[in-house]
Amino acid sequence: MRITSIKAVPISYRVPEGQNVRLGIGRAVKRDAVLVKVATDEGLVGWGEAHHGRCPGAIAKLIDTTIAELVVGMDAMNVVGVWQRVYQMQLASHGMGYAAAMALSGLDLALWDIRAKAAGWPLYRLLGGTSKPIKAYAGGISLGWQAPESLAEEALGYVAKGYRAVKLRVGDNPRDDLARAAAVRKAVGDGIEILVDANTGYTLEDARRVMPGYDDLQIGWLEEPFPAQDYRSYQTAASFGLTPLAAGENHYTRFEFTRLIEDHAVSYVQPDLSKTGGITETMRIAGMVHAWKLSFNPHTSATGINMAATINVLAAVDVPGYFEGDVAKHNPFRDEVGGIPYSVDSNGCVTPSEKIGLGVEIDEDFINAHPLIEGPCYV
């Protein structure tokens, strides 16, 4: 089965005024994604999602030109061979680095969609997994920098929907971050896990100041206090308290995860299937994570494609951690690109779809109605 075409489709929508969550990377004004459509000479079509990298037009252009030229004509079943060709020609030497990793991720997801469709199986089964409940937390672009009372009310709403864990956006300043976390802990009680995500917004001194408070509040993890490549700060901050550190959504390929893991600073590892190299590379990273007795908790991206793929992967690994549920009030990319990709049960868990492939049926009319909007998604 040969690949006959590869097409990137950058899409956008404006966040409705009044729903602009503010977090460490800015105020959300629109959401972007890059979908990847792969066609074959046997009629099977696969869909993937490449992370937009805050510049979706550039990622799409890379896929439509260089990536397509490298890969069209190759065996669609040879996902490892395709992965290695793109890696060697675009990541390893004189290439586009992280942009190429995101582009490759979308292509890889689409090829796994094709493989599972050819087998007539849901993806998790093709990966060697089984249908099982995966615990989920309320995350995505939500629970941002707002008044403590408002944040607590929002968190209670997600608990009422079944979530047994919520993730707050911190990285504002130590005083306000601790006040928000304390308000949520008081509201939800001790039976709900609270996680926090600084979106790389802390200095070492910030981390030193907040850690005792996070320890007292029994915070489950402090995510991305520093930029991904600031390995030394992660190592230093790991000694500031008992709250474990989490990172990985901005690390690319197993080679960066090797350093992250071997530094012994991070306990919760969070690769994003649409950024780090797709399903092929994420499964390799999951094996490393489990070998080091760490916790595997993928970060999710913008659309139902990534979310459905992530649940399938979690159903196929040894010891799955959390699935990140996108609980944004308005996200048509989650709900309408391919249909709502998951639901949370009363125990706060999700399960993979029994549909073949990734389990989503792409609505191309919806995609065509949401063309790329130029400009930044956070301001």
Return the CATH number at 279.
Answer: 3.20.20.120
Residue 347 has pLDDT above 90, yes or no: yes
pLDDT band at 221 (very low <50, low <70, confident <90, very high): very high
Question: Do residue 71 and residue 173 come from a single domain?
Answer: no
Mean pLDDT of 112-140: 98
DSSP class of residue 359?
A: S
Nearest to 154 by CA among 262, 244, 19: 19
Q: Are 130 and 61 in contact (CB under 8 A)?
A: no
Q: Name the residue with tokens 């991305």.
A: 224
Question: Do residue 190 and residue 272 come from a single domain?
Answer: yes
Q: Are 163 and 137 in contact (CB under 8 A)?
A: yes
Question: Do residue 340 and residue 250 come from a single domain?
Answer: yes
Residue 319 has pLDDT above 90, yes or no: no
Question: Do residue 225 and residue 309 come from a single domain?
Answer: yes
In-domain check, residue 373: no
Q: Are 282 and 115 in contact (CB under 8 A)?
A: no
Q: What sign for the dihedral angle of Cα 115, 121, 123, 127?
A: negative
In-domain check, residue 309: yes
Question: Do residue 179 and residue 97 come from a single domain?
Answer: no
Q: Specify the long-range contacts of residues 83-87, CB closer than 8 Å, at least 24 apart.
A: 83/108, 83/277, 83/278, 83/280, 83/281, 87/253, 87/277
Question: Do residue 181 and residue 93 come from a single domain?
Answer: no
Question: Do residue 32 and residue 56 come from a single domain?
Answer: yes
In-domain check, residue 39: yes
Give the separation between CA 230 and CA 228, rounded to whole angstroms: 6
In-domain check, residue 149: yes
Residue 281 has pLDDT above 90, yes or no: yes
Which residues constitute the domain of residue 66?
3-121+364-368
In-domain check, residue 379: no
pLDDT band at 321 (very low <50, low <70, confident <90, very high): very high
Give the separation between CA 111 and CA 364, rounded to whole angstroms: 18
pLDDT in tens, 31-53: 999 999 999 999 999 999 999 99
Give the separation between CA 303 and CA 33, rounded to whole angstroms: 7
Question: Do residue 115 and residue 263 come from a single domain?
Answer: no
* Distance spanning both ends of the chain, measured CA to CA: 44
Give the separation between CA 249 and CA 271, rounded to whole angstroms: 5
Specify the amino acid at residue 130: T
Question: Do residue 192 and residue 70 come from a single domain?
Answer: no
pLDDT band at 336 (very low <50, low <70, confident <90, very high): very high
Q: Are 39 and 361 in contact (CB under 8 A)?
A: no
Task: Give the per-residue pLDDT at 247.
Answer: 98
The mean pLDDT value of the chain amounts to 97
Give the separation between CA 296 and CA 132, rounded to whole angstroms: 16
Q: What is the CATH classification number for the domain harbouring 75?
A: 3.30.390.10
Question: Do residue 80 and residue 172 come from a single domain?
Answer: no
In-domain check, residue 305: yes
pLDDT in tens, 222-278: 999 999 999 999 999 999 999 999 999 999 999 999 999 999 999 999 999 999 999
In-domain check, residue 359: no
Question: Do residue 169 and residue 284 come from a single domain?
Answer: yes
pLDDT in tens, 103-122: 999 999 999 999 999 999 99
pLDDT band at 81 (very low <50, low <70, confident <90, very high): very high
The number of folded domains in the chain is: 2
In-domain check, residue 80: yes
Give the separation between CA 273 and CA 317, rounded to whole angstroms: 14
Task: Give the per-residue pLDDT at 225.
Answer: 98
Question: Do residue 137 and residue 279 come from a single domain?
Answer: yes
H helix runs in 217-323, sequence order: 231-237, 253-262, 278-291, 304-314
